[in-house]
Chains A and B, each alone.
Chain A
Amino acid sequence: MAKVTSSGTAKVTLPTDEQILITREFDAPRHLVYKAWTTPELVRRWWSGRSGEMTVAEIDLRVGGAWRYVMIADGGFEVAFHGEYREIVPNERIVTTEVYEMPGAEPLAPADEPLNIIDFTEADGRTTVTLLVQCSTRDLRDTIIESGMEAGLQEGMDLLEEVAVSLRP
């Protein structure tokens, strides 16, 4: 496996009732981070984290263009998100809607769709990514955090298993 300089964990804060802010630094220049963020075959390698396999990564990278990501989580169920690009500044900024395709749920009104504002800033060859999730309501934000919790708990269990395996004599 490639040796990777980990830049630590993602930092999550909740700046206002309707926002979630995720910040992380990467040991790479921003054109590469942007590339990994916007190229389907690269997105496939990281977006599902360690909780499943991606089956769909479609990206139409232009303002008004659509994207859709689908993964099969380890529990066997499908998790799908889609959105529409609102603003694109190559290597610097992506603004897009992001909608979780909740099974059986009514689609959100367009005005209620959460907006993801992703900024890439580079210093000394390292890139800081800030991802601001802007929701229309606090309820929506809490729903997003809850869905993250479910996935996170699953991964927590996987990690636990890994640790357990590594402790085997």
Chain B
Amino acid sequence: MARAATTADAFNAVAEPRRRQILDVLAGGERPVNDLVDALGLAQPQVSKHLRVLREVGAVDVRDAGRQRLYRLNGPALKPIHDWVKAYERTWSERFEELDVVLADLKQKEQGDGESDE
């Protein structure tokens, strides 16, 4: 995928839907890769690739436990990013909710005009 060159950035790391899914699963606690493979329904190499991106930006940590590698969320590293995107999203959502009201008016007016022509 063309985005490979740009993923070493915390924002991109969490903007990718699959990586967000991984983060969601890890929000429930520490997990081995196999659990993530099951939860996402992706092949292990793909999951590992996403995990590598998340590790590079500090979003997840990993430790060895016997034969397993366990991944966990690094919450403090993620929170500012999450807050940024959420707040930006909220700004636009509220703007668009006002736009919904304007559009409802415009639609009503247009329909009204149609009726008066009859």
Chain A contact residues, CB within 8 Å of chain B: 1-7, 9-17, 20, 22, 24, 26-28, 32-33, 35-36, 42, 45-51, 138, 142, 145-146, 148-149, 151-153, 155-156
Docked-complex contact B103 and A27, CB < 8 angstroms? yes
Residues in chain B near residue A16, CB distance under 8 A: 3, 6, 12
- Provide the bound-state CA to CA distance between A155 and B91, in Å: 7
Chain B minimum-CB-distance residue to A20: B88
Residues in chain A near residue B6, CB distance under 8 A: 16-17
Residues in chain A near residue B108, CB distance under 8 A: 2
Residues in chain B near residue A153, CB distance under 8 A: 87
Q: Which of B78-118 contact A (CB under 8 A)?
A: 83-108, 110
Docked-complex contact B88 and A46, CB < 8 angstroms? no
6 nearest CB pairs, A to B: A152-B87, A46-B98, A10-B92, A148-B88, A28-B103, A49-B95
Instruction: Given A2-B101, A10-B95, A17-B9, output 13 extra A-B contacts at Cβ < 8 Å.
Output: A4-B100, A4-B104, A7-B100, A14-B15, A17-B12, A20-B88, A45-B102, A47-B98, A48-B95, A49-B97, A148-B91, A149-B88, A153-B87
Residues in chain A near residue B103, CB distance under 8 A: 26-28, 32-33, 36
- Provide the bound-state CA to CA distance between A32 and B2, in Å: 35
Docked-complex contact B101 and A4, CB < 8 angstroms? yes
- Provide the bound-state CA to CA distance between A1 and B104, in Å: 11
Q: Which of A22, A50, A145 contacts B98 (CB 8 A)?
A: A50
Docked-complex contact A15 and B84, CB < 8 angstroms? no
| Given A17-B9, A138-B9, A26-B91 contact (CB < 8 Å) | no
Docked-complex contact A3 and B88, CB < 8 angstroms? no
